[in-house]
């Protein structure tokens, strides 16, 4: 671990992030009106030597320059303005000791955030940082959020990636060479991870053999790329244990990586958790993905070059058969922890679907090698999902002689995929306990019966209070369904605690009323809550085969409702389905669902606004603007649509129309922070800096507006040459959001222009470029490198800037 990276040592960049706290604590010893930080490059004229630690009082200017000395090094100079000293000599003599005490306390606070053995963030610190990032990103969780269309104001992308690395080899190192050798190997792994990650990625130790990293703004694709790069670096890490012979091999380790992303890897009720619980859930999912990657590596051996798995891959391809059970069932490694749900269908494949084949003819002459084709053994459906495992029922086998065995892999089938073809060797049979068909037999009967029905309904009913007595509960629920929905319904098991019900000649209104009555009767008779999703045919352009998928979406809708949890598939169900696709980044799929929601209900303004947001995200601004106009005409007080309309006009260069839309937002909500700031920007572009600053000040005065307004107030201060005020606002902006690339770049420019330590400017410019690799940030980084005399590095960065412009 480098001395500068020691948990108990501060750096100049720490001073930037902690400026507000330093000022607050110094105010106990010194009265001043304002403050800023200064990073001198060399000894200053006038005899002021920051390295001496002695403060300089300038009474004529009402300023005091106080060097911040830590471990014998001057980190920065604290510039206090409008200073009032009651006893100048006594106070200035005491200030260095006060500053030293303050820095020591801040260093201890910094150390408390870190793991003492590795210097990385401690696990509790990473969880707290992840919680804060989720709180900031939640404004972009749904397409109706204003910040989603306008991320430039808050510098929040609405997404983040969590990386987890499982290390193997530390226990072996301790057994062979002792605890000191294992700790040295762990420290080397920690240093390797820190060097491999960009500066904006926070690295932590979260367990004895697990490291993690948080990447604000990281996508799944970017997270996987970084995780693979880090894993390759980790497996190359090595240390030579003390006392080992020169010929002894160095200690090394193996690593597996997992990636979970926000918000795509949060599903169902997890979206409604508190930010802290969301953080814990994401960390757990990233760790599960790393464990799945380790299992894959153990199975594949040296044939696995990757060793990294995304969380969504655990459910789609990471399941394993654990044990074969009676009644054509088996247990598998998929549980609620990986978001498995009852009713999910999987193809079952051999553990080594591409195993090497080695044939030796009976004559003993020659040898033939090849690979078995990747063939599924059959298909199964989850019928009971527990926390860590699930019970699956075999729907059918490709070949009865090719049985399912422990270790076989499970590959998730798309909901729209038709179940595998298989021959019906016998008529469908009912379960003796419940009188219901199995899920497979119900699907077969449903496929046969629906073709002869011009109108029918399908119902999915799920007991929500567990499945300890699932058979008894399902039997009673089936009896209640026949009494409520009609004796001519066809019933089947959807899972151990869920039913599928085909209701012929069902009117949508009667179907919904019957489901409401069924939920009420089930609650009274079973003492259990029931979620019911229903769908009716015909509905829009849906085919008969689509009804099961529509019913599943209605069940998802129902589980989000208060009692009674009953939903008939409609425009709202389509909205919920589209929102889920949007959070997963599938904007095209979300658009199709929003369009169908509008076909089902042309007055669904939420769907229209969300569709427009998707179009804007995809660069179709003219179409988006037209839809925003429609929303505003239908609901003149829709603040989200008004603001989104203004943003679309702004991006199209229609400044007058944009200003009108933002003014309308202020009519609806006079304190709308984003509209105030956007109007301020338009005033700046129109050459009216005073009006712009007044609007920024109004935004800052609103609850929660100051953090967003800091960067814009800094720009207004620079317009009137208020550099120290601008510096103050930029420090505050970076303190609030360490990933605000715009504020960080402006701060770097200030340090460069004022001739201060170019190393600080280089660090800040590099950080801004890594957060957002824009040409102007890269050019600023190159300029800072030139000031340091690093021409070769500057040339390389400048080439990246040219590439970014292209």
Does the pLDDT value for residue 422 go beyond 50? Answer: no
Please provide the DSSP assignment of 28-91 as one string.
TT-B-SEEEEE--SSPPTTS--GGG---EEETTTTEEEEEEEETTEEEEEEEEES-B-SSHHHH
**What's the order of all strands across the beta sheet hosting 254-262?**
121-122, 202-207, 210-216, 160-168, 254-262, 308-310
pLDDT digits (tens, 9 = 90+) for 743-785: 999 989 988 888 777 888 888 898 888 888 889 999 999 999 9
Q: What's the pLDDT band for 147 if we cut at 50, 70, 90?
A: very low
Q: What's the pLDDT band for 393 if we cut at 50, 70, 90?
A: confident
Please provide the DSSP assignment of 106-153 as one string.
HHHHHHHTB-TTT-SEEHHHHHHHHHHHHHHHGGGSSTT-HHHH-TTT
Per-residue confidence (pLDDT) for residue 354, from 0 to 100:
45
Please provide the DSSP assignment of 513-530 as one string.
HHHHHHHHHHHHHHS--E
Tally the C-alpha atoms within 13 A of residue 452's C-alpha that lie toward its C-beta: 4
Does the pLDDT value for residue 319 go beyond 70? Answer: yes
pLDDT digits (tens, 9 = 90+) for 320-362: 999 999 888 999 999 888 888 887 889 998 876 444 445 555 5
Tokens of 522: 């089930």
Q: Cα Rg for the chain, rounded, in angstroms?
A: 32
Q: Which of 260, 293, 281 is nearest to 166 (CA)?
A: 293
Residue 306 contacts residue 255 (beta carbons within 8 Å)? no
Does the pLDDT value for residue 43 go beyond 60? Answer: no
Residue 363 contacts residue 370 (beta carbons within 8 Å)? no
pLDDT digits (tens, 9 = 90+) for 663-714: 999 999 999 999 999 999 999 999 999 999 999 999 999 988 888 899 999 9
Backbone φ and ψ for 600, nearest 5 degrees, come out as -75, -30
Q: How far is CA 195 from CA 93, 202, 255, in A?
A: 41, 11, 16
> What domains, with CATH codes, occur in the chain?
3-112 (no CATH), 121-312 (3.30.70.270), 318-356+371-412 (2.40.10.410), 439-569 (3.30.70.270), 570-669 (1.25.40.10)
Alpha-carbon distance 551 to 511, whole Å?
13
CB atoms closer than 10 angstroms to residue 619: 10
Looking at every residue in the chain, the average pLDDT score rounds to: 85
Backbone φ and ψ for 115, nearest 5 degrees, come out as -80, 125
Per-residue confidence (pLDDT) for residue 217, from 0 to 100:
83
Alpha-carbon distance 619 to 144, whole Å?
17
**Locus of tokens 């300089």:** 56
pLDDT digits (tens, 9 = 90+) for 498-557: 889 999 999 999 999 999 999 999 988 888 889 999 999 999 989 988 898 899 899 989
pLDDT digits (tens, 9 = 90+) for 569-627: 999 999 999 988 887 778 899 999 999 999 999 999 999 999 999 998 888 999 999 99
**Locus of tokens 């120290």:** 724
Predicted model pTM: 0.75
Residue 178 DSSP one-character state: -
Q: Which of 377, 365, 442 is nearest to 406 (CA)?
A: 377
Alpha-carbon distance 118 to 165, whole Å?
15
Does the pLDDT value for residue 2 go beyond 70? Answer: no
């Amino acid at each position: 671990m480098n001395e500068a990276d020691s948990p108990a040592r501060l750096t100049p960049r720490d001073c930037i992030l902690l400026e507000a706290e330093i000022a607050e604590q110094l105010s106990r010893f010194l009265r001043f009106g304002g403050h800023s930080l200064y990073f001198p490059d060399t000894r200053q004229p006038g005899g002021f030597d920051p390295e001496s630690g002695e403060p300089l009082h300038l009474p004529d200017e009402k300023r005091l320059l106080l060097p911040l000395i830590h471990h014998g090094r001057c980190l920065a100079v604290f510039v206090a303005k409008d200073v009032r000293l009651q006893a100048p000599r006594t106070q200035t003599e005491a200030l260095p000791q006060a500053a030293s005490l303050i820095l020591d306390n801040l260093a201890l606070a910094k150390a408390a955030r870190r793991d003492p053995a590795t210097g990385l963030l401690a696990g509790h610190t990473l969880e707290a940082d992840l919680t804060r990032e989720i709180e900031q990103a939640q404004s972009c969780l749904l397409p109706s959020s204003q910040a989603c269309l306008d991320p430039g104001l808050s510098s929040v992308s609405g997404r983040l990636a969590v990386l987890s690395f499982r290390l193997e080899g530390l226990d072996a190192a301790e057994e062979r060479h002792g605890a000191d050798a294992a700790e040295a190997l762990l420290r080397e792994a920690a240093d390797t991870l820190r060097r491999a990650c960009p500066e904006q990625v926070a690295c932590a130790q979260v367990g004895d053999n697990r490291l993690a990293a948080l990447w604000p703004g990281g996508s799944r694709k970017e997270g996987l790329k970084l995780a693979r790069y880090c894993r390759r670096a980790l497996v190359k890490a090595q240390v030579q244990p003390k006392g080992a012979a020169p010929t002894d091999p160095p200690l090394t380790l193996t690593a597996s990586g997992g990636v979970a992303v926000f918000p795509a890897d949060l599903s169902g009720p997890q979206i409604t958790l508190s930010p802290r619980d969301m953080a814990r859930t994401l960390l757990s999912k990233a760790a599960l993905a790393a464990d799945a990657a380790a299992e894959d590596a153990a199975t594949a051996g040296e044939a696995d070059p990757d060793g990294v798995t995304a969380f969504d891959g655990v459910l789609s391809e990471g399941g394993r058969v654990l044990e074969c059970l009676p009644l054509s069932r088996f247990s598998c490694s998929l549980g609620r922890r990986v978001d498995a749900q009852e009713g999910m269908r999987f193809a079952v494949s051999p553990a080594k679907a591409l195993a090497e084949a080695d044939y030796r003819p009976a004559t003993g002459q020659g040898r033939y090698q090849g690979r078995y084709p990747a063939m599924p053994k059959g298909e199964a459906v989850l019928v009971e999902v527990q926390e860590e495992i699930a019970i699956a029922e075999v729907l059918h086998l490709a070949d009865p002689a090719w049985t399912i065995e422990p270790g076989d892999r499970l590959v998730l089938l798309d909901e729209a995929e038709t179940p595998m073809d298989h021959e019906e060797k016998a008529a469908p049979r009912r379960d003796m306990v419940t009188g219901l068909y199995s899920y497979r037999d119900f699907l077969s009967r449903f496929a046969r019966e629906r073709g002869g029905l011009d109108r029918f309904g399908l119902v999915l009913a799920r007991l929500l209070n567990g499945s300890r007595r699932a058979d008894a509960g399902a039997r009673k629920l089936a009896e209640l369904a026949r009494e409520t929905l009609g004796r001519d319904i066809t019933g089947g098991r959807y899972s151990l605690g869920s039913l599928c019900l085909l209701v012929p000649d069902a009117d949508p209104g009667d179907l919904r009323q019957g489901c409401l009555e069924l939920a009420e009767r089930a609650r009274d008779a079973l003492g259990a809550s029931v979620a019911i999703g229903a769908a009716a045919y015909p509905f829009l352009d849906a085919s008969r085969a689509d009804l099961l998928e529509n019913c599943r979406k209605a069940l998802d809708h129902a589980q989000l409702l208060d009692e009674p949890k009953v939903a008939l598939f409609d425009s709202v169900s389509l909205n919920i389905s589209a929102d889920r696709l949007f959070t997963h980044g599938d904007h095209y799929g979300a658009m199709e669902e929003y369009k169908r929601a509008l076909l089902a209900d042309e007055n669904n303004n939420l769907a229209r606004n969300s569709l427009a947001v998707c179009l804007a995200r995809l660069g179709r601004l003219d179409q988006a603007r037209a839809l925003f106009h429609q929303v505003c005409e239908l609901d003149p007080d829709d603040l989200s649509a008004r603001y989104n309309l203004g943003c679309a006009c702004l991006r199209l260069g229609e400044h007058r129309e944009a200003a009108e839309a933002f003014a309308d937002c202020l009519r609806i909500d006079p304190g709308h922070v984003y509209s105030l700031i956007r109007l301020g920007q338009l005033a700046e572009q129109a050459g009216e800096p005073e009006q712009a600053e007044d609007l920024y000040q109004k935004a800052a005065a609103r609850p929660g507006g100051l953090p967003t307004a800091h960067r814009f107030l800094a720009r207004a201060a620079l317009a009137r040459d208020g550099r120290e005020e601008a510096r103050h606002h930029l420090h505050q902006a970076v303190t609030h959001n360490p990933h605000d690339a715009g504020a960080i770049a402006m701060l770097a420019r200030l340090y460069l222009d004022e001739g201060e330590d170019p190393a600080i400017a280089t660090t800040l410019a590099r950080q801004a470029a890594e957060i957002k690799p824009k040409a102007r940030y890269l050019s600023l980084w190159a300029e800072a490198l030139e000031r340091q005399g690093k021409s070769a590095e500057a040339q390389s960065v400048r080439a990246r800037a040219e590439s970014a412009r292209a």
